Structure 1
Protein backbone atom coordinates (compact mmCIF):
# COMPACT_ATOMS: atom_id res chain seq x y z
CA UNK A 1 0.00 0.00 0.00
CA UNK A 2 2.80 2.42 0.93
CA UNK A 3 4.70 1.63 -2.27
CA UNK A 4 1.57 2.25 -4.35
CA UNK A 5 0.97 5.59 -2.66
CA UNK A 6 4.59 6.64 -3.17
CA UNK A 7 4.40 5.62 -6.84
CA UNK A 8 1.17 7.61 -7.27
CA UNK A 9 2.79 10.60 -5.56
CA UNK A 10 5.80 10.47 -7.90
CA UNK A 11 3.47 10.31 -10.91
CA UNK A 12 1.83 13.52 -9.67
CA UNK A 13 5.23 15.17 -9.21
CA UNK A 14 6.26 14.14 -12.73
CA UNK A 15 3.13 15.73 -14.16
CA UNK A 16 3.85 19.08 -12.44
CA UNK A 17 7.54 19.02 -13.44
CA UNK A 18 6.58 18.39 -17.04
CA UNK A 19 4.43 21.53 -16.98
CA UNK A 20 7.31 23.73 -15.77
CA UNK A 21 9.60 25.50 -18.20
CA UNK A 22 13.40 25.34 -17.99
CA UNK A 23 13.61 22.04 -16.08
CA UNK A 24 16.57 20.05 -17.38
CA UNK A 25 16.97 16.28 -17.17
CA UNK A 26 19.42 16.36 -14.23
CA UNK A 27 17.14 18.63 -12.20
CA UNK A 28 14.05 16.64 -13.14
CA UNK A 29 15.60 13.40 -11.83
CA UNK A 30 17.04 15.04 -8.73
CA UNK A 31 13.78 16.74 -7.67
CA UNK A 32 11.86 13.52 -8.25
CA UNK A 33 14.31 11.76 -5.93
CA UNK A 34 14.26 14.46 -3.25
CA UNK A 35 10.46 14.72 -3.11
CA UNK A 36 10.34 10.98 -2.55
CA UNK A 37 12.85 11.29 0.30
CA UNK A 38 10.76 14.01 1.94
CA UNK A 39 8.00 11.44 2.45
CA UNK A 40 10.21 8.45 3.16
CA UNK A 41 12.64 9.63 5.84
CA UNK A 42 11.48 9.61 9.44
CA UNK A 43 13.02 12.06 11.86
CA UNK A 44 15.55 14.75 11.04
CA UNK A 45 16.25 15.53 7.41
CA UNK A 46 19.77 16.55 6.47
CA UNK A 47 22.33 15.81 3.79
CA UNK A 48 23.69 12.84 5.72
CA UNK A 49 20.24 11.27 5.78
CA UNK A 50 19.70 12.00 2.09
CA UNK A 51 22.99 10.30 1.25
CA UNK A 52 22.05 7.31 3.39
CA UNK A 53 18.59 6.70 1.93
CA UNK A 54 18.74 8.40 -1.47
CA UNK A 55 20.21 7.55 -4.84
CA UNK A 56 23.20 9.90 -4.60
CA UNK A 57 26.08 10.60 -2.25
CA UNK A 58 25.93 13.25 0.47
CA UNK A 59 28.14 15.67 -1.48
CA UNK A 60 25.82 15.45 -4.52
CA UNK A 61 22.88 16.55 -2.39
CA UNK A 62 24.89 19.42 -0.91
CA UNK A 63 25.89 20.62 -4.35
CA UNK A 64 22.40 20.39 -5.83
CA UNK A 65 20.85 22.30 -2.93
CA UNK A 66 23.10 25.26 -3.76
CA UNK A 67 21.28 25.57 -7.09
CA UNK A 68 17.92 27.27 -7.43
CA UNK A 69 14.56 25.63 -8.00
CA UNK A 70 11.30 27.48 -8.64
CA UNK A 71 9.27 26.12 -5.72
CA UNK A 72 6.66 28.87 -6.13
CA UNK A 73 5.78 27.70 -9.64
CA UNK A 74 5.86 24.05 -8.62
CA UNK A 75 3.54 24.62 -5.65
CA UNK A 76 1.27 26.93 -7.65
CA UNK A 77 0.80 24.40 -10.43
CA UNK A 78 0.10 21.68 -7.84
CA UNK A 79 -2.54 23.84 -6.15
CA UNK A 80 -4.22 24.85 -9.41
CA UNK A 81 -4.46 21.19 -10.40
CA UNK A 82 -5.55 19.57 -7.13
CA UNK A 83 -7.29 22.26 -5.04
CA UNK A 84 -10.76 23.75 -5.42
CA UNK A 85 -11.48 27.09 -7.09
CA UNK A 86 -12.51 28.73 -3.80
CA UNK A 87 -9.19 29.93 -2.35
CA UNK A 88 -7.42 32.77 -0.58
CA UNK A 89 -3.78 33.68 0.11
CA UNK A 90 -2.56 33.52 3.72
CA UNK A 91 0.47 35.56 4.78
CA UNK A 92 2.16 35.34 8.17
CA UNK A 93 5.79 35.86 9.30
CA UNK A 94 7.11 33.18 11.65
CA UNK A 95 10.03 33.29 14.10
CA UNK A 96 12.52 30.39 14.07
CA UNK A 97 14.83 29.86 17.02
CA UNK A 98 18.52 29.80 16.04
CA UNK A 99 21.31 29.98 18.62
CA UNK A 100 24.27 30.26 16.23
CA UNK A 101 25.84 33.53 15.11
CA UNK A 102 27.14 32.60 11.65
CA UNK A 103 23.93 31.58 9.89
CA UNK A 104 23.04 34.19 7.23
CA UNK A 105 20.13 36.41 8.24
CA UNK A 106 20.14 35.76 12.00
CA UNK A 107 19.19 38.64 14.25
CA UNK A 108 16.50 39.78 16.65
CA UNK A 109 12.95 39.12 15.43
CA UNK A 110 9.58 39.29 17.11
CA UNK A 111 8.33 36.03 18.61
CA UNK A 112 4.57 35.96 19.06
CA UNK A 113 4.75 33.02 21.49
CA UNK A 114 7.24 34.78 23.75
CA UNK A 115 5.75 38.26 23.13
CA UNK A 116 9.21 39.74 22.71
CA UNK A 117 12.06 40.01 20.23
CA UNK A 118 14.38 36.99 20.31
CA UNK A 119 17.59 35.96 18.58
CA UNK A 120 17.00 33.74 15.58
CA UNK A 121 15.56 33.88 12.06
CA UNK A 122 12.26 34.86 10.49
CA UNK A 123 10.45 33.60 7.44
CA UNK A 124 7.48 35.20 5.74
CA UNK A 125 5.16 32.28 5.05
CA UNK A 126 2.85 32.35 2.03
CA UNK A 127 0.13 29.71 1.70
CA UNK A 128 -3.00 29.02 -0.32
CA UNK A 129 -6.13 28.33 1.74
CA UNK A 130 -8.53 25.88 0.10
CA UNK A 131 -11.82 26.97 1.64
CA UNK A 132 -13.98 24.19 0.19
CA UNK A 133 -11.66 21.41 1.39
CA UNK A 134 -10.80 23.11 4.71
CA UNK A 135 -7.04 22.85 4.23
CA UNK A 136 -4.00 24.89 3.30
CA UNK A 137 -1.12 24.46 0.86
CA UNK A 138 2.34 25.90 1.37
CA UNK A 139 3.51 28.17 -1.44
CA UNK A 140 6.80 29.73 -0.38
CA UNK A 141 8.82 30.80 2.65
CA UNK A 142 10.87 34.00 2.25
CA UNK A 143 13.60 34.77 4.78
CA UNK A 144 13.39 38.22 6.35
CA UNK A 145 16.67 40.20 6.21
CA UNK A 146 18.11 41.23 9.57
CA UNK A 147 19.12 44.72 8.40
CA UNK A 148 16.58 46.58 6.29
CA UNK A 149 18.23 49.84 5.30
CA UNK A 150 16.16 51.13 2.37
CA UNK A 151 12.64 50.17 3.49
CA UNK A 152 10.59 49.54 6.62
CA UNK A 153 9.61 46.07 7.77
CA UNK A 154 6.00 46.61 6.68
CA UNK A 155 7.17 47.75 3.23
CA UNK A 156 9.32 44.63 2.99
CA UNK A 157 6.36 42.37 3.80
CA UNK A 158 4.21 44.12 1.18
CA UNK A 159 6.96 43.81 -1.45
CA UNK A 160 7.31 40.08 -0.77
CA UNK A 161 3.74 39.62 -1.99
CA UNK A 162 3.90 42.21 -4.77
CA UNK A 163 7.03 40.63 -6.27
CA UNK A 164 5.06 37.37 -6.58
CA UNK A 165 1.74 38.86 -7.65
CA UNK A 166 1.71 37.19 -11.08
CA UNK A 167 1.75 33.76 -9.44
CA UNK A 168 -0.45 34.66 -6.48
CA UNK A 169 -3.21 36.33 -8.49
CA UNK A 170 -3.57 33.11 -10.48
CA UNK A 171 -4.76 31.55 -7.22
CA UNK A 172 -6.68 34.37 -5.53
CA UNK A 173 -6.71 38.14 -5.10
CA UNK A 174 -7.70 37.90 -1.41
CA UNK A 175 -4.86 38.12 1.14
CA UNK A 176 -5.53 37.02 4.72
CA UNK A 177 -3.28 38.56 7.39
CA UNK A 178 -3.46 39.29 11.10
CA UNK A 179 -3.99 42.63 12.84
CA UNK A 180 -0.34 43.69 12.52
CA UNK A 181 -0.91 44.25 8.80
CA UNK A 182 -3.93 46.54 9.23
CA UNK A 183 -1.75 49.47 8.25
CA UNK A 184 -2.45 51.95 5.48
CA UNK A 185 0.87 51.53 3.68
CA UNK A 186 0.54 47.75 3.63
CA UNK A 187 -3.11 47.63 2.55
CA UNK A 188 -2.76 50.46 0.02
CA UNK A 189 0.28 48.95 -1.70
CA UNK A 190 -1.42 45.59 -2.09
CA UNK A 191 -4.70 47.08 -3.32
CA UNK A 192 -2.78 49.10 -5.92
CA UNK A 193 -1.39 45.82 -7.25
CA UNK A 194 -4.68 43.96 -7.59
CA UNK A 195 -5.04 42.37 -4.16
CA UNK A 196 -7.80 42.69 -1.56
CA UNK A 197 -6.71 42.47 2.10
CA UNK A 198 -8.86 40.71 4.70
CA UNK A 199 -7.71 41.36 8.26
CA UNK A 200 -8.87 42.86 11.55
CA UNK A 201 -7.94 46.01 13.43
CA UNK A 202 -5.65 46.00 16.43
CA UNK A 203 -7.21 45.77 19.90
CA UNK A 204 -6.21 49.38 20.62
CA UNK A 205 -7.68 50.77 17.37
CA UNK A 206 -9.47 54.12 17.90
CA UNK A 207 -12.38 54.36 15.46
CA UNK A 208 -14.22 57.63 15.02
CA UNK A 209 -17.26 58.73 13.03
CA UNK A 210 -16.88 61.65 10.68
CA UNK A 211 -18.75 64.68 12.04
CA UNK A 212 -21.15 66.35 9.59
CA UNK A 213 -22.40 69.12 11.92
CA UNK A 214 -25.63 67.57 13.16
Structure 2
Protein backbone atom coordinates (compact mmCIF):
# COMPACT_ATOMS: atom_id res chain seq x y z
CA UNK A 1 0.00 0.00 0.00
CA UNK A 2 0.86 3.63 -0.32
CA UNK A 3 -0.03 6.13 2.37
CA UNK A 4 -0.66 9.76 3.13
CA UNK A 5 0.21 11.09 6.58
CA UNK A 6 -2.48 13.41 7.98
CA UNK A 7 -2.16 15.73 10.98
CA UNK A 8 -4.89 17.73 12.68
CA UNK A 9 -5.95 18.94 16.12
CA UNK A 10 -9.37 18.37 17.69
CA UNK A 11 -11.08 20.43 20.37
CA UNK A 12 -12.91 18.81 23.31
CA UNK A 13 -15.16 21.15 25.33
CA UNK A 14 -14.54 20.90 29.05
CA UNK A 15 -15.78 23.17 31.82
CA UNK A 16 -14.06 21.69 34.89
CA UNK A 17 -11.50 23.80 36.71
CA UNK A 18 -9.11 21.02 37.73
CA UNK A 19 -8.78 19.08 34.49
CA UNK A 20 -5.15 18.59 33.48
CA UNK A 21 -4.34 20.52 30.31
CA UNK A 22 -7.41 22.75 30.42
CA UNK A 23 -6.92 25.91 28.41
CA UNK A 24 -8.22 28.13 25.65
CA UNK A 25 -8.10 26.35 22.29
CA UNK A 26 -9.67 26.95 18.89
CA UNK A 27 -13.13 25.39 18.64
CA UNK A 28 -13.77 25.04 14.92
CA UNK A 29 -17.42 24.13 15.44
CA UNK A 30 -18.07 27.44 17.17
CA UNK A 31 -15.48 29.42 15.13
CA UNK A 32 -13.94 30.85 18.30
CA UNK A 33 -11.52 30.07 21.09
CA UNK A 34 -13.16 28.16 23.99
CA UNK A 35 -12.12 26.55 27.24
CA UNK A 36 -11.40 22.87 26.87
CA UNK A 37 -8.79 20.36 25.79
CA UNK A 38 -7.01 19.81 22.50
CA UNK A 39 -5.69 16.60 21.01
CA UNK A 40 -3.30 16.45 18.08
CA UNK A 41 -3.59 13.33 15.92
CA UNK A 42 -1.35 11.91 13.22
CA UNK A 43 -2.84 9.16 11.07
CA UNK A 44 -1.89 7.15 8.02
CA UNK A 45 -4.47 7.12 5.25
CA UNK A 46 -4.29 4.22 2.82
CA UNK A 47 -4.57 5.25 -0.82
CA UNK A 48 -5.84 1.84 -1.89
CA UNK A 49 -8.05 0.63 0.94
CA UNK A 50 -9.61 3.92 2.06
CA UNK A 51 -8.65 3.25 5.67
CA UNK A 52 -7.14 5.53 8.31
CA UNK A 53 -4.75 4.24 10.95
CA UNK A 54 -4.09 6.56 13.92
CA UNK A 55 -0.37 6.60 14.72
CA UNK A 56 -0.02 9.12 17.50
CA UNK A 57 -2.42 11.18 19.58
CA UNK A 58 -1.16 13.73 22.09
CA UNK A 59 -2.81 16.23 24.34
CA UNK A 60 -1.71 19.76 23.56
CA UNK A 61 -0.32 21.59 26.56
CA UNK A 62 -1.95 25.00 26.97
CA UNK A 63 0.40 27.95 26.69
CA UNK A 64 0.02 31.65 26.32
CA UNK A 65 1.01 31.93 22.68
CA UNK A 66 0.17 30.05 19.51
CA UNK A 67 3.83 29.59 18.56
CA UNK A 68 4.35 27.19 21.44
CA UNK A 69 1.47 25.00 20.23
CA UNK A 70 2.98 24.87 16.76
CA UNK A 71 6.25 23.72 18.31
CA UNK A 72 4.35 20.92 20.10
CA UNK A 73 2.77 19.80 16.81
CA UNK A 74 6.18 19.87 15.12
CA UNK A 75 7.75 17.82 17.92
CA UNK A 76 4.99 15.23 17.49
CA UNK A 77 5.51 15.12 13.71
CA UNK A 78 9.27 14.64 14.07
CA UNK A 79 8.77 11.92 16.69
CA UNK A 80 6.44 10.02 14.37
CA UNK A 81 8.92 10.33 11.50
CA UNK A 82 11.77 8.94 13.60
CA UNK A 83 9.95 6.36 15.73
CA UNK A 84 7.00 5.05 13.75
CA UNK A 85 7.57 5.45 10.04
CA UNK A 86 10.86 3.62 9.55
CA UNK A 87 9.04 0.61 8.10
CA UNK A 88 7.23 2.73 5.52
CA UNK A 89 10.26 3.89 3.61
CA UNK A 90 9.20 4.66 0.05
CA UNK A 91 5.49 4.14 0.76
CA UNK A 92 4.63 7.56 2.21
CA UNK A 93 3.50 9.82 -0.62
CA UNK A 94 2.42 13.07 1.08
CA UNK A 95 1.69 14.86 4.32
CA UNK A 96 -1.65 16.66 4.48
CA UNK A 97 -2.81 19.27 7.00
CA UNK A 98 -4.87 22.41 7.16
CA UNK A 99 -3.50 25.94 6.82
CA UNK A 100 -2.46 26.13 10.46
CA UNK A 101 0.51 23.91 9.61
CA UNK A 102 1.61 25.91 6.54
CA UNK A 103 4.73 27.19 8.23
CA UNK A 104 8.35 26.95 7.19
CA UNK A 105 9.27 24.73 10.14
CA UNK A 106 6.70 22.11 9.05
CA UNK A 107 7.72 22.28 5.41
CA UNK A 108 11.38 21.86 6.40
CA UNK A 109 10.57 18.80 8.56
CA UNK A 110 8.59 17.13 5.76
CA UNK A 111 11.22 18.01 3.16
CA UNK A 112 13.93 16.50 5.39
CA UNK A 113 12.05 13.19 5.16
CA UNK A 114 12.11 13.44 1.34
CA UNK A 115 8.37 13.05 0.94
Q: Same fold (TM over 0.5)?
A: yes
Higher relative contact order (CA 8 A, sep 6+): 2
Corresponding position of 2:87: 170
Corresponding position of 1:152: 68
Q: Deviations over 1:10-61 (max 9, x none)?
A: xxxxxxxxxxxxxxxxxxxxxxxxxxxxxxxxxxxxxxxxxxxxxxxxxxxx
SS in 1 for 2:61: coil
Corresponding position of 2:33: 117
CA distance in 2, matches of 1:117, 1:195: 35
The structure with more strand, counted as a fraction of residues: 2
Q: Structure 2: 5+ residue runs without aligned partners?
A: none
SS in 2 for 1:145: coil
* Aligned counterpart in structure 2 of residue 184 of structure 1, from 95, 100, 104: 104
Moved over 3 A (4+): none
TM-score by length of 1: 0.47
Q: Which has the larger radius of gyration?
A: 1
Structure 1 residue 118, shift from structure 2 partner = 0.5
CA distance in 2, matches of 1:134, 1:123: 23
CA distance in 2, matches of 1:170, 1:148: 37
